[in-house]
Amino acid sequence: MADTAAVTVEAFGRPRIKPEHRAYRTVDGNVRVGSVIHGIGAEIADPRGWVWTLVEAMDGSRGPSEVVAEVLRGHPELSGADARQAMADLLAAGFVDDADASASLPPREQDRYSRGVPLLRWMDLAPRTSPWDAQLRLRESRVLLVGVGGTGGHAAQALVASGVGHVHCVDPDVVELSNLNRQPLYRESDLGRPKVEAALATLRALNSDVTVTGEHREVRGPEDLTELVAASALAGSPYDLLVLAADRPDAIRRWTNRACLAAELPWVDAGYRGPLVTAGVYVPGQGACWECLREGEIARRDLRLGPGQDPESASPRMPWNPASAVTAGLSGALLAHAALALLTGVPAMEPGFRFGVNLMLPGDPVHQRTPRRLDCPACGERT
Ligand SMILES: [Zn+2]
């Protein structure tokens, strides 16, 4: 998982306000930096004008001491310590990278990921000298992907295209005609073929700079998940994350929760219930587990169930789980986002949380949060 070890001004050869975070001055003289996107930008009062001089000096052409000197040249009343502290504050807020930072990746991969890395840089609010750190982290990551249908197929495409170093796919099905309205890894020529086999061919053709493996296998109980997770650890290279994109058998989320808690393995899942598409983020020991969140959500919804009624009876669940290219695509994309965010720390992702989109009310926020439950049968005994 991503760490955010302290990075100080001294670590920067030539500090630069990130190009995506370019500053501007408001009509009343404040400095806005970090883009105007909610969750990133900040506004700094600048009555004497020296903050503007500072951000202009941080254009990647100077070392930290030269930046301070440039600010003091225009504002001799200021102390060097104040200017340096302001630079440190901008750095700590994630608005700065190092113009001297080099990409320690082969040129081919620098080119391949040349659009994704600036997006990581844009969303990254942890102090970091090089935007390539997050890409390197993906390159070293190992992911277990359970299910390569609609959600899993879209997620697999995104993970492999983004440069996750090793993706291992598990799925029990063969490709059917009714899959093709939403499952992007398959063609008509794949009908009757095991999904894993066809998925591997498509994913390897997409990105030969990463490793994609798989197995045609059904998850029949929690012990299958435990075994899948343990296999990589036994081989000396444990998974960093489990990505659940299967909704059968019905208990697969509960099993995954238990298996990942036992293995202390973070996991993410996503899926749809009609037009409602959500993804969840779980990190053992941090925040609610899947069972905590589910219980909290049932309580929040106030379903007013009669005695003996199961919460499932309030929400239709059909064997032909209705889905389109849109719901599967959104579900897979949200799942991949959650996975990439947990692997890189970009953006920082709150564990024990579900988020999503309701296509009936696309402007309304969809999120589920609940505190970790001390009496949770899955995680309650854990420290
Ligand atoms: Zn729990």
pLDDT digit string (tens) for 232-241? 888 889 999 9
Task: For domain 140-369, give its CATH number from 3.30.420.40, 3.40.50.720, 3.40.50.1000, 3.20.20.10.
Answer: 3.40.50.720
Q: What is the pLDDT of residue 315?
A: 73
Q: What is the CA(242)–ligand 1 centre distance, in A?
A: 17
Q: What is the CA(65)–ligand 1 centre distance, in A?
A: 50
CATH 3.90.930.60 region(s) of the chain? 9-98
pTM: 0.94
Q: What is the CA(150)–ligand 1 centre distance, in A?
A: 28
Q: What is the CA(289)–ligand 1 centre distance, in A?
A: 4
CA distance 344 to 133: 9
Residue percentage of the chain with pLDDT more than 90: 85
Q: What is the CA(243)–ligand 1 centre distance, in A?
A: 18
Q: What is the CA(258)–ligand 1 centre distance, in A?
A: 9
CA distance 128 to 293: 33
pLDDT-derived band at 5, boundaries 50, 70, 90:
low
CA distance 135 to 101: 14
C-alpha distances in Å from residue 371, one per residue of 187, 280, 367: 44, 14, 14
Q: What is the CA(370)–ligand 1 centre distance, in A?
A: 10
318 Cβ partners below 8 Å, 6+ apart?
A: none
Q: Does the pLDDT at position 297 exceed 90?
A: no
Q: What is the CA(376)–ligand 1 centre distance, in A?
A: 5
Q: What is the CA(271)–ligand 1 centre distance, in A?
A: 20
Assigned token pair, 192: 């009757």
Please give the angle made by the CA atoms of 126, 242 and 188, to the nearest 5 degrees.
115
Q: What is the CA(113)–ligand 1 centre distance, in A?
A: 37
Q: What is the CA(239)–ligand 1 centre distance, in A?
A: 22
CA distance 358 to 82: 48
Q: What is the CA(8)–ligand 1 centre distance, in A?
A: 37
**Range with the lowest mean pLDDT among 3-12, 92-101, 110-119?**
3-12
How much is the average pLDDT of 45-74?
97
CA dihedral 192, 222, 344, 238 (to 10 degrees): -90
How much is the average pLDDT of 12-19?
96
Q: What is the CA(288)–ligand 1 centre distance, in A?
A: 5
- DSSP assigned state of 210: S
Q: What is the CA(375)–ligand 1 centre distance, in A?
A: 8
Q: Does the pLDDT at position 189 exceed 50?
A: yes
Task: For domain 9-98, give its CATH number from 3.90.930.60, 3.30.1490.20, 3.40.50.2300, 2.40.50.140.
Answer: 3.90.930.60
- DSSP assigned state of 22: -
Q: What is the CA(183)–ligand 1 centre distance, in A?
A: 32
Higher-confidence residue of 285 and 314: namely 285
If we measure between CA atoms, which residue out of 36, 124, 20 comes closest to residue 347?
A: 124
Q: In what order do the strands lie in the sheet with 42-44?
A: 24-25, 31-33, 42-44
Q: What is the CA(134)–ligand 1 centre distance, in A?
A: 30
Assigned token pair, 15: 């500090």
Q: What is the pLDDT of residue 4?
A: 47
Rounded to a whole number of angstroms, the distance between the first and last alpha carbons of the chain is 19
CATH 3.40.50.720 region(s) of the chain? 140-369
Q: What is the CA(344)–ligand 1 centre distance, in A?
A: 24
Q: What is the CA(51)–ligand 1 centre distance, in A?
A: 47
